[in-house]
Chain A
Amino acid sequence: MKVTFPHMGHMWICLAAMLEYLGVEVVVPPPTSKRTLTLGARHAPEFACLPLKLNLGNFIEAAERGADTILMAGGCGPCRFGYYAQVEHAILEDLGYNYRLVVMEPPQRHVGELLSKIKYITGHSSWWEVIRGIRFGYQKARMVDELERQAHYLRPRESHRGSTDKAFQRALQEIIPVKHPRDLPKAAERARKIMAQVAIKPRPVLRVGIVGEIFTLLEPFANHDLERKLGYLGVQADRSIYLSEWINDHLFLGLVRGLRSRREACRAAPPYLNHFVGGHGQETVGSTVIYARQGYDGVIQLLPFTCMPEIVAHSVLPGLSNELDIPTLTITVDEQSGEAGLVTRLEAFVDLLARKRGVVV
């Protein structure tokens, strides 16, 4: 069995860590690229949203490298994500790929359901090992998130353009190859040191929160590297959901204490959005309210074209933005969306924020 999974930002690092720790052979799809998108878009339904198309491309490219089993998450609606796996599988079948499909549905009752799926893949591992494997993967996710947060802080302040990104990549290279939990703390130390060496200059920065659909938020290919672009424009970005928070909310049912969770975000959404609407629609609205309260300069909403929960969120954002006096910018991505237009819009938005704050960035 050679297991693959869709890309979503740095998620592969923690999934590969967990599976390999449990002795599973893993085929990480090649990094999502133009080719991935072309392959996916050619075979996916026209109005499927971007994540489905990219997933599909990942699976086709992974099959070229010998993968035969797909591991992915599912859901129970109302957003389309819950039926992705089945539709993707049907398309792959018609294309002649014989993939085995293992879908981790969000645990309805208890985390045990999740464990047993993972156990199915690993075959012989004991429960105890499986739990250790999950913990290992999760620790890596926490570490990657920590490094990303630092990168967000450093980028707008770095003395030499590009030094943060170089450091970040090197720091990741410390974390990725670690094969055993006992080696992680040392690697983490090395990674932190690398980040600490980035030289910075004190200068005024703007703070912008990024909200929206989770895949677009986490996958730099899908959002045209939004966080880096913002950094270079003098903006310290904060993402409303990081990988480890998403894992905790959706796979561990919020069992890990002390993490930012979707519950606060949802609580902050009324009176603008009084009900959940699937996906992260309510979190998008709630997080925007929270960013406004925390004095952020602006909020950017990211969504794939036709994403239903985010369209609902988008339709209440203008009113919210007025009442709470926080500028918002909505960016819709699909296979046609070009880089140039995005840069222009970002620059205009950042200009507006800077003028409002009375700073020069």
Chain B
Amino acid sequence: MTLKVGIPRALLYYYYLPLWRTFFEALGLEVVISRPTTKTILEAGLQNSGDDVCLPVRLAFGHVLDLKDRVDVLFLPRLVSIARREYICPKFLGFPDMVRHGISGLPPLIDPNLNLYHRDSPYPFFFALGRNFTSNRLAIYLAYRRAVHTQARYVQLLEKGLFPEQALAVLYQGVAEGREPGGGGPAVAVIGHPYNIYDPYISMNLLSRLARNGVRVCSADNLPETLVREQAARLPKHLFWSLGQRMIGAAWHYLQSPDVDGIIHVASFACGPDSLTGELISREVRRRGKPFLNLTLDEHSAEAGVVTRLEAFLDMMERRQFLPAGESVQ
């Protein structure tokens, strides 16, 4: 029987799934991914995590519960740092401990530290990970190589303009690469954490809703890493959050880009890093006067409210096309 390893469809799933999945499969394991977010999954998460924990982490609890009885081991890497001198958010550093103390009856957790704060190569992480399943060093190395290769293809697809689900479908379901060209409508950059904007349930179908309205949508993940970093480097001090880097860098880029007509910033209610990066972004946008919408998600956000605000924002962008250039509409 092949060992089943569970990966929650939460947190950095949208960044790293190909890397992780390919690695496990190359080692002969079966990968089980939690089901797409539903009300049930979210509610289970809310019940099993503390009140003051943010929505994305509570949702991740829900995905862990969804996997709990269906897998032999759970993969919950401790993501300390994914880039030099950077972190994600303190909760990612504590996540395995929070789960361990918050949910009983779990299968064994595999939680090696991914810490690239002082180094560049993630190989030690994969080596430690692989050692849980095999003592064959060569097999681990080859699995790692293959994983890195698949991840690179994934990133290529994103930079061509695909969104994670589309790119994953290309990689794993043999769907053709083409992306439906958006309508002739305005272009909007959606800036937010991957677990917020790409989870259709949590974002209340934000991306497809925009697409249905003829809007061409882009996100930080459609931009090459180097470009995002160059832009973020204009901050007065190196920003030590990797996700914040991506959001600020992308916002700065799209702000200057004449092809992008408006910006939507998506934040989690009470998210620490978002509270500061969002502030920097909205101050900069106000100075430049591009249409801007700030959406804050929490477990109580009502779909109707979001839809109304979105419509108002799209209307405003349309009206703005008739305004003299440079006039600011908020």
A76 vs B271: C-alpha distance in the bound complex, in angstroms?
A: 18
Q: Are B275 and A276 in contact (CB under 8 A)?
A: no
A80 vs B272: C-alpha distance in the bound complex, in angstroms?
A: 7
B88 to chain A: closest residue by CB: A78
Q: Are B86 and A311 in contact (CB under 8 A)?
A: no
Q: Are A275 and B80 in contact (CB under 8 A)?
A: yes
Given the contacts A279-B90, A316-B101, A311 and B273 also touching, CB distance less than 8 Å: no
Distance in angstroms from A269 CB to nearest chain B CB is 9
A341 vs B173: C-alpha distance in the bound complex, in angstroms?
A: 56
Partner of A48, one of B87, B94, B113, B279: B279
A314 to chain B: closest residue by CB: B50
Q: Is B102 an interface residue (CB 8 A)?
A: yes
A274 vs B280: C-alpha distance in the bound complex, in angstroms?
A: 33
Q: Is B93 an interface residue (CB 8 A)?
A: yes
Q: Is A46 an interface residue (CB 8 A)?
A: yes
Q: Is A112 an interface residue (CB 8 A)?
A: no
Question: Could you tell me which residues of chain A, from 71 to 117, have a CB within 8 Å of some CB in chain B?
Answer: 74, 76-80, 82-83, 85-87, 89-91, 94, 103
Q: Is B192 an interface residue (CB 8 A)?
A: no
Q: Is A181 an interface residue (CB 8 A)?
A: no
Given the contacts A275-B93, A311-B52, A316 and B98 also touching, CB distance less than 8 Å: yes
Q: Are B90 and A312 in contact (CB under 8 A)?
A: yes
Q: Are B279 and A278 in contact (CB under 8 A)?
A: no
A300 vs B93: C-alpha distance in the bound complex, in angstroms?
A: 23
Chain A residues contacting B252 (CB-CB under 8 Å) are: none
Partner of B278, one of A45, A77, A308: A45
A46 vs B240: C-alpha distance in the bound complex, in angstroms?
A: 21
Q: Is B179 an interface residue (CB 8 A)?
A: no
Q: Is A47 an interface residue (CB 8 A)?
A: yes
Chain A residues contacting B272 (CB-CB under 8 Å) are: 47, 49, 79-80, 306-308
Partner of B276, one of A76, A83, A279, A309: A83
- Interface of B, secondary structure class, is mixed
- Per-position 1/0 for B215-248, Cβ under 8 A of A: 0000000000000000000011101110000000
Given the contacts A94-B283, A311-B50, A315-B49, A80 and B276 also touching, CB distance less than 8 Å: yes
Chain B residues contacting A277 (CB-CB under 8 Å) are: 90-91, 93-94
Q: Are B275 and A48 in contact (CB under 8 A)?
A: yes
Chain A residues contacting B237 (CB-CB under 8 Å) are: 74, 83, 85-86, 103
Q: Is A319 an interface residue (CB 8 A)?
A: yes
A101 to chain B: closest residue by CB: B236
Given the contacts A45-B278, A80-B272, A80-B273, A274 and B283 also touching, CB distance less than 8 Å: no
Q: Is B53 an interface residue (CB 8 A)?
A: yes
Distance in angstroms from A210 CB to nearest chain B CB is 19
Question: Could you tell me which residues of chain B, from 290 to 304, have a CB within 8 Å of some CB in chain A?
Answer: none
B53 to chain A: closest residue by CB: A311
A76 vs B89: C-alpha distance in the bound complex, in angstroms?
A: 12
Given the contacts A275-B80, A314-B50, A77 and B98 also touching, CB distance less than 8 Å: no
Distance in angstroms from A161 CB to nearest chain B CB is 35
Q: Are B276 and A45 in contact (CB under 8 A)?
A: yes
Q: Is A248 an interface residue (CB 8 A)?
A: no
Chain A residues contacting B88 (CB-CB under 8 Å) are: 78
B113 to chain A: closest residue by CB: A275
Q: Are A76 and B240 in contact (CB under 8 A)?
A: yes
A308 vs B98: C-alpha distance in the bound complex, in angstroms?
A: 12
Q: Are A86 and B236 in contact (CB under 8 A)?
A: yes
Given the contacts A80-B273, A86-B235, A312 and B93 also touching, CB distance less than 8 Å: yes
B95 to chain A: closest residue by CB: A312
- Per-position 1/0 for A317-335, Cβ under 8 A of B: 0110000000000001000
Q: Are A315 and B90 in contact (CB under 8 A)?
A: no
Chain B residues contacting A91 (CB-CB under 8 Å) are: 279, 283
Question: Could you tell me which residues of chain B, from 266 to 286, have a CB within 8 Å of some CB in chain A?
Answer: 267, 269-276, 278-280, 283
Chain A residues contacting B25 (CB-CB under 8 Å) are: none
Partner of A312, one of B97, B270, B275, B280: B97
Chain A residues contacting B86 (CB-CB under 8 Å) are: 77
Q: Are B97 and A90 in contact (CB under 8 A)?
A: no
A276 vs B87: C-alpha distance in the bound complex, in angstroms?
A: 12
Q: Is A305 an interface residue (CB 8 A)?
A: yes
A273 vs B96: C-alpha distance in the bound complex, in angstroms?
A: 9
Given the contacts A76-B85, A78-B89, A273 and B94 also touching, CB distance less than 8 Å: yes
Q: Are B270 and A306 in contact (CB under 8 A)?
A: yes
Chain B residues contacting A276 (CB-CB under 8 Å) are: 93
Q: Are A78 and B241 in contact (CB under 8 A)?
A: yes
A273 vs B80: C-alpha distance in the bound complex, in angstroms?
A: 14
Distance in angstroms from B313 CB to nearest chain A CB is 19
Q: Is B160 an interface residue (CB 8 A)?
A: no
Known: A74-B237, A80-B272, A315-B94. 18 other contacts (CB 8 A): A45-B278, A47-B269, A48-B276, A48-B279, A77-B241, A78-B93, A83-B237, A83-B239, A90-B283, A275-B94, A276-B93, A277-B90, A277-B94, A305-B52, A306-B275, A311-B91, A316-B97, A316-B98
Q: Show the binding face of B for A, using Cβ within 8 Å.
A: 49-50, 52-54, 78, 80, 85-91, 93-94, 96-98, 101-102, 113, 235-237, 239-241, 267, 269-276, 278-280, 283
CB-defined A-B contacts under 8 Å, sample of 19: A45-B276, A45-B278, A48-B275, A78-B90, A78-B93, A80-B273, A82-B240, A86-B237, A87-B279, A89-B236, A273-B97, A274-B96, A275-B80, A276-B93, A306-B271, A308-B272, A311-B90, A312-B90, A312-B93
Q: Show the binding face of A for B, using Cβ within 8 Å.
A: 45-49, 74, 76-80, 82-83, 85-87, 89-91, 94, 103, 272-279, 281, 305-309, 311-316, 318-319, 332
Ranked 9 nearest A-B pairs via Cβ? A77-B240, A312-B94, A78-B87, A47-B275, A308-B90, A45-B279, A278-B90, A277-B94, A277-B93
